[in-house]
Chain A
Amino acid sequence: MLNYFRPKTIKECLEFITDERVYIAGGTDLMVELKKGHDLSNKTVIDLTHIPELSGVKKVYGELEIMACTTHDDIVLNKDVNKCLKALSLACRTVGSPQIRNKGTVGGSVGTASPASDPMPALMLADGRVVIINKKGEMREEKLEDFIIKPGVTTLKNDEMILSLKVKSLEDYKQSFFKIGRRKALAIARLNFAMAILMNNDETIKDIRIVVGAALPVTKRFYDIEKKLIGKKITKEVIEQVSKQISEQVLAIAGPRKSSEYKIPVIRNVINRMLKEMEV
Chain B
Amino acid sequence: MSLFEHNNNKYNIVGKDIKRVDALEKVTGTALYAADLYKGNMLYGGNVRIKEYPAKITKIDTKEAEAIPGVVKIITCFDKNAKKHSWADYCYLTDEVKFCGDVVAIVAAESKKAVDKAIKSIKVEYELQEGVYTIEDALKEDAPIVREKGVGLIDGIPNKEKKGNIFLDSYYPIRKGNVEEGFKKCDVIIEREFNVPFIDQAYIETEACLVYNDPKDGSITGEASAQNPFFTRRYLAEASGHNMSESRFIQRTLGGTFGGKEEGVGVQIGRAAILHKATGRPVKMVNTREESLMDSSKRHAFNFKYKIGATKDGDILAAEGTLVDNCGAYNNQTQFMNWRASVHSVGVYEIPNVKTDTYGVFTNNVHGGAMRGYSSPQVIFAQEQLMNELAKELGMDSVELRRKNIIRQNTRTATNQLITEEVILEEMMDELLKRTDYYSKKKEFEDFNKKDNNIKKGISLVTVYRGAGLGAEGVDANGAFIQATEDGSVIINTGLAENGQGLQTAYAQIAAEMLGVTMDKIHFHSVDTHAIADSGMTVASRGTTMGAQSMKLAAEKLALIFKEHVAEKFGTTVDRISCKDNYYFDIEDNFPANYSSDKRIAFKDVCNERLWAGQQLAVYEWFRPALNEYDHHIGQGKAFPTYTYNVCIAEVEVDVETGDIKVTKVTSGLDCGRVINPNMVKGQMLGGIVMGLGYAITEEIELKKGRILNDNFDSYILPTSMDMPEMDVVLFESETKEGTLGAKSVGEPATEAVAAAIAGSVGHALNKNVDHLPCSLESILKYMD
Residues B657 and A273 in contact, CB atoms below 8 Å apart: yes
**Contact residues in A for B720 (Cβ distance below 8 Å):** 97, 183-186
Asked whether A183 and B723 contact (CB < 8 A) given A262-B777, A262-B778, the answer is yes
**A269 proximal to B (CB < 8 A):** yes
Give the residues in chain A near B723, CB-CB below 8 Å.
Answer: 183-185
Complex Cα spacing A184 to B721, Å: 9
Instruction: State how many residues of chain B have any CB contact under 8 Å with chain A.
Output: 19
Q: What 11 new A-B contacts, CB under 8 Å, besides A183-B698, A183-B723, A184-B722? A: A32-B714, A180-B660, A182-B777, A183-B719, A186-B720, A188-B714, A261-B778, A262-B777, A262-B778, A269-B658, A272-B657
Give the Cβ gap from B197 to chain A, nearest Cβ, in Å. Answer: 14
CB < 8 Å: which of B657, B721, B722, B777 contacts A190? B777
CB distance from B713 to the nearest CB of A (A): 8
The 8 Å CB contact of A183, one of B659, B717, B781, B782, is: B717
Tell whether, in the assembled complex, residue A262 and residue B454 are in contact, meaning their CB atoms are under 8 Å apart: no
Q: Given the known A-B contacts A182-B717, A262-B659, are A269 and B454 also in contact in the complex, defined by CB atoms under 8 Å? A: yes
Q: State whether A266 and B722 are in contact (beta carbons under 8 Å apart), knowing that A32-B714, A183-B717 are contacts in the complex.
A: no
Interface flag for A270 (CB, 8 Å): yes
Q: Would you give the 0/1 interface string for A172-194, flagging 1 where the beta carbon is closer than 8 Å to chain B?
A: 00000000101111111010000
Which of the residues B658, B714, B719 comes within 8 Å of A180, measured between beta carbons?
A: B658
Grouping DSSP codes into helix (H, G, I), strand (E, B) and loop, the B interface class, with mixed when no group exceeds half, is loop
**For the complex, is A256 an interface residue (Cβ under 8 Å from B)?**
no
- The answer, yes or no, to whether B332 is at the interface (CB within 8 Å) is no
- Annotate A254-275 by CB proximity to B: 1 below 8 A, 0 otherwise: 0000000110011001101100
| Residues A270 and B698 in contact, CB atoms below 8 Å apart | no
- Inter-chain contacts of A269 with B (CB < 8 A): 454, 657-658
Nearest chain A residue, comparing its CB with the CB of B715: A188
Contacts of A183 in B (CB 8 A): 698, 717-720, 722-723
Q: Within the complex, which residue of B454, B660, B698, B718 is in contact with A273, where a contact is CB–CB below 8 Å?
A: B454
Residue ID in chain A nearest B720 by CB atoms: A185
Name the distance in Å between A272's Cβ and chain B's nearest Cβ.
8
Could you tell me which residues of chain B, from 691 to 731, have a CB within 8 Å of some CB in chain A?
698, 714, 717-723
Contact with A along B476-504 (1 / 0, CB 8 A): 00000000000000000000000000000
**Contact of B781 (CB < 8 Å), options: A97, A187, A265, A273:** A265
Question: B residues bordering A, Cβ < 8 Å?
Answer: 454, 657-660, 698, 714, 717-723, 776-778, 781-782
Task: Pick the most buried of A188, A269, A270: most chain B CB atoms within 10 A of its CB.
Answer: A269
A233-254 near B? 1/0 per residue, CB < 8 Å: 0000000000000000000000
B130 CB to closest chain A CB, in angstroms? 24
List the A residue with the shortest CB-CB distance to B780: A262
Cα(A186)–Cα(B716), bound, Å: 11
**Nearest chain A CB to B68's CB is how many angstroms away?**
15
Nearest chain A CB to B420 CB, angstrom units: 45
Q: Known: A182-B776, A182-B777, A261-B778. Is A266-B714 also a contact (CB below 8 A)?
A: no
The residues of A that contact B781 with a CB separation of less than 8 Å are 261-262, 265-266
Distance between Cα atoms of A182 and B778 in the complex (Å): 10
CA distance A32 to B289 in the complex (A): 13
**How distant is B716 from chain A, measured CB to nearest CB, in Å?**
10
Chain A residues near B659 (CB-CB < 8 A): 180, 262, 266
Q: Shortest distance in angstroms between A204's beta carbon and chain B's nearest beta carbon?
A: 27
Q: What's the minimum C-beta distance from B469 to chain A, rounded to whole angstroms?
A: 35
Provide the bound-state CA to CA distance between A183 and B697, in Å. Answer: 9
Within 8 A of B (CB), among A165-223: 180, 182-188, 190
Residues in chain A near residue B717, CB distance under 8 A = 182-183, 187
In the complex, chain B residues whose CB is within 8 Å of the CB of A266: 657-659, 777, 781
A residues less than 8 Å from B658 (CB atoms): 180, 266, 269-270
Closest B residue by C-beta to A191 = B658
A32 and B714 CA atoms in complex are apart in Å by: 10
27 contacts between A and B (CB under 8 A): A32-B714, A180-B658, A180-B659, A180-B660, A180-B777, A182-B698, A182-B717, A182-B777, A183-B722, A184-B720, A184-B722, A184-B723, A185-B720, A185-B721, A188-B714, A261-B778, A261-B781, A261-B782, A262-B777, A262-B778, A262-B781, A266-B658, A266-B659, A266-B777, A266-B781, A272-B657, A273-B657
Closest to B120 in A: A37
Cα–Cα, bound, A182→B719 (Å): 9
Inter-chain CA distance A185–B717, complex, in Å, is 10
A187 to B717, CA, bound (A): 8
The 9 A-B pairs at the shortest CB distance, nearest first, are namely A269-B657, A184-B722, A185-B722, A262-B778, A185-B720, A182-B717, A184-B723, A180-B658, A183-B723
Chain B, Cβ-Cβ closest to A265: B781
Q: Look across to chain B and name the residue whose beta carbon is closest to the beta carbon of A186.
A: B720
| A97 cross-chain contacts in B, Cβ below 8 A | 720
Nearest B residue to A180, CB-CB: B658
A178 to chain B minimum Cβ distance, whole angstroms, is 9
| Contact call B657/A270, Cβ cutoff below 8 A | yes
- Nearest CB in chain A: distance from B775 CB, A: 11
Contacting residues, chain B, for A184 (C-beta < 8 A): 720, 722-723
Bound form: Cα–Cα A188–B710 in Å: 13
A32 proximity list for chain B (CB < 8 A): 714
Q: Which residues of B contact A188 (CB under 8 A)?
A: 714
Task: Report A141-154 CB contacts with B as 1/0, cut-off 8 Å.
Answer: 00000000000000
* CB-nearest residue of chain B to A276: B454
* Min distance, Cβ B637 to any Cβ of chain A, angstroms: 44
Bound complex: CA of A32 vs CA of B659, how far in Å? 29
Interchain CA distance A272-B655 in the complex, whole Å = 14
What is the minimal beta-carbon distance from A176 to any residue of chain B, in angstroms?
Answer: 14
Task: Give the complex CA separation of A272 and B718 in angstroms.
Answer: 30
Q: Which residues on the A side are within 8 Å of B778 (C-beta)?
A: 261-262
Q: How far is the CA of A184 from the CA of B658 in the complex (A)?
A: 13
How far is the CB of A29 from the nearest CB of chain B, in Å?
11
Cβ distance B735 to chain A, nearest Cβ, rounded Å: 42
Closest Cβ of chain A: how far from B456's Cβ, in Å?
Answer: 14
B657: chain A residues at CB < 8 Å are 266, 269-270, 272-273
- B660 / chain A contacts, CB cutoff of 8 Å: 180
List the A side residues contacting B718 at CB < 8 Å: 183
**In the complex, what distance in Å separates the CA atom of A142 from the CA atom of B475?**
73
Per the bound structure, the CA–CA distance linking A34 and B575 in Å amounts to 70
Which of A182, A266, A273 neighbours the largest number of chain B CB atoms within 10 Å of its CB? A182
From A183, A265, A266, A272, residue with most partner B Cβ within 10 Å = A183
| Chain B residues closer than 8 Å to A182, beta-carbon distance | 698, 717, 776-777
Q: How far in angstroms is the closest Cβ of chain A from B408?
A: 40
- Give chain B nearest CB distance to A194 CB in angstroms: 16
Q: How far is the CA of A186 from the CA of B776 in the complex (A)?
A: 16
